[in-house]
Chains A and B, each alone.
Chain A
């Protein structure tokens, strides 16, 4: 009876082990599958992130290559490779398009824009770029060293062009029109904000805003289009007069010649034109500005008394001679320390630093042959660590002389002259001739005769008693054009696609 019951029970439980085993196997399978799916998802996620980061960095590398190579101080400066690739001075006209091409191994440079067309330009401007207005240059991101080629970032092209309201889809001047033909400028002094201005005649302090657009494409097909808007950054030097003398005791001898003039009204004289800049005759500053570190008006009196032809010094609506001691100096021009810092900073961007110092710690003297060739479209930054003595020489750009400056009447300069000297600084003209100085001249003494930095500005001498025709004329365009571009400041950054 009992054994029957046991047998019945055994029969009723038979197959349970199989069932349990099947369930356990199913459980393990489900867990395994879910693990596989989860890890696959993570892998895909990591892969996507890697692609996204790589394509972003490739695009950024392209943008930065363009931003760097626009600087004349860059060893791979565009115009050093392809003459006239970018305007050396003045704006890049709207419609002009520049491309950096960066083909991957196996891709042809010439067909890169066909393989990877720039559809973004047409999106921004409504039309494709005109081929006659397009210039291309090869990227320098791929380098070969010791017979091995190291491929650079995987951007395909970078485009540089003038920014407009239409291209940025931003109505800068709130006139309800997105202007497509007038270039945008960035003016740090413009109020109210924003500092972008749109005008066919920009103020001399305004710098052109440029678009830099890059397309990066990875082998797996990831692609990204990115864009900077940049504007050049300079020292932003400004001057309170055509000729500014800053020092304790100013010894001044004005010109005897009837043909010598100094004028603080912007653009007077006969300056060569600066592309893209028109002087504003409404800006009128004193012909001569002086500081009075000792107080009183001793320097102004001394200068006025040293002018044989006072009616030849005009500007700022002042009675002639136009000499003012109520001037305000740019912070960089105020003290020996700030001027010394400025000279050091300018030296970092100098086209030429001359002359080689002679032994004994004395100041050397540079002459015409030590100075670089410069022109209205190719201004130079020259630092003369010593005295400068020129004859029949016309220069363009920014000139720093840390000693004394002597010139003849057929010498002139278009831009800025800083005579920031050792000991008693003199600026001496020897008369005759018919050249002129357009821009601004600043004279100060910041070191003693041993070359030690003074705690206060020292004595200054200015002697043009030799006369001649080479007067001084304030010119805001030349002041701004003369200053080297330190960098291209980023105004905006956006990811387009």
Chain B
């Protein structure tokens, strides 16, 4: 009986020693594996994580994905043409500012041209000021704009002169017509 007790005690002791030795070792291993002290002195520089394009998707919010899906396909377009053959009535252009039928029409067109000439003259002056104040790299573009506008202004003045001439012709015709109309009754 006493021998059995002795063996039992020996076993307990051996087991206890084994557990006692293993537990701290295990705890130490765990902490070495996972532990990273907050106040670590100066750890070796952590390798920088460089994200690739493939990983960008995982960082996008649902809102980004929605907006992308909705509007991001600016170039992935769908043609809007539809092959059907209905035909709306064509619209007829208003006449340009030329060939007035009456002196009254001519006056209106000349007034129109004068308004455009005045506005364009003001515009040309504005561009000239812009050129003076513009940075060097923009001056060339503005000079080109100025040349174009001066040409447009000259064309518009020329149109106005033509209209003035056409108005004179109309006035002459009107005067001649009224003259012949006045002469006709007297001859009768």
Q: How far does the alpha carbon of A188 sit from the alpha carbon of B64 in the complex, in Å?
A: 13
Q: How many A-B residue pairs have CB under 8 A?
A: 257
A280, CB-defined interface residue at 8 Å? no
Interface residues in A456-494 (C-beta closer than 8 Å to B): 465, 467-469, 486-487, 489-494
Q: How far does the alpha carbon of A93 sit from the alpha carbon of B17 in the complex, in Å?
A: 70
Give the contact-size bracket for chain B: 35 or more
Interface residues in A230-262 (C-beta closer than 8 Å to B): 233-238, 246, 248-254, 256-259
* In the complex with contacts A434-B120, A490-B59, A257-B97 CB distance below 8 A: yes
Contact A23 B50 (CB under 8 A): no
Q: Which residues of chain B have C-beta atoms less than 8 A from A327's C-beta?
A: 80
Contact B112 A238 (CB under 8 A): no
Q: Mark B1-45, 1 if CB is under 8 A from A, else 0.
A: 010001001001100110111011011101100111111000001
Looking at the complex, which one of A306, A410, A493 makes contact with B93 (CB distance below 8 Å)?
Answer: A306
Contact A328 B56 (CB under 8 A): no
Contact A233 B64 (CB under 8 A): yes
Shortest beta-carbon distance from A343 to chain B in Å: 13
* In the complex with contacts A30-B16, A295-B85, A490-B60, A258-B45 CB distance below 8 A: no
Shortest beta-carbon distance from A31 to chain B in Å: 6
Residue of A nearest to B31 (CB): A41
Contact A467 B81 (CB under 8 A): no
* In the complex with contacts A38-B23, A331-B73, A492-B50, A433-B36 CB distance below 8 A: no
A222, CB-defined interface residue at 8 Å? yes
Residue of B nearest to A310 (CB): B93
Looking at the complex, which one of A45, A236, A291 makes contact with B35 (CB distance below 8 Å)?
Answer: A45
Q: Most A CB atoms within 10 A — which of B20, B56, B93, B122?
A: B93
B-side interface residues toward A, CB under 8 Å? Answer: 2, 6, 9, 12-13, 16-17, 19-21, 23-24, 26-28, 30-31, 34-39, 45-46, 48-51, 53, 56, 59-61, 63-64, 67-68, 70-97, 112-113, 115-116, 119-120, 122-123, 126-127, 130, 138, 142, 145, 152-153, 155-156, 159
Q: List 30 A-B contacts (CB under 8 A).
A: A26-B20, A27-B12, A27-B20, A41-B30, A44-B37, A45-B30, A52-B38, A205-B74, A220-B38, A235-B67, A254-B94, A256-B94, A258-B113, A258-B159, A270-B127, A293-B80, A294-B88, A295-B86, A308-B95, A328-B77, A330-B77, A409-B119, A410-B119, A468-B115, A489-B64, A490-B56, A490-B64, A493-B59, A494-B50, A497-B45
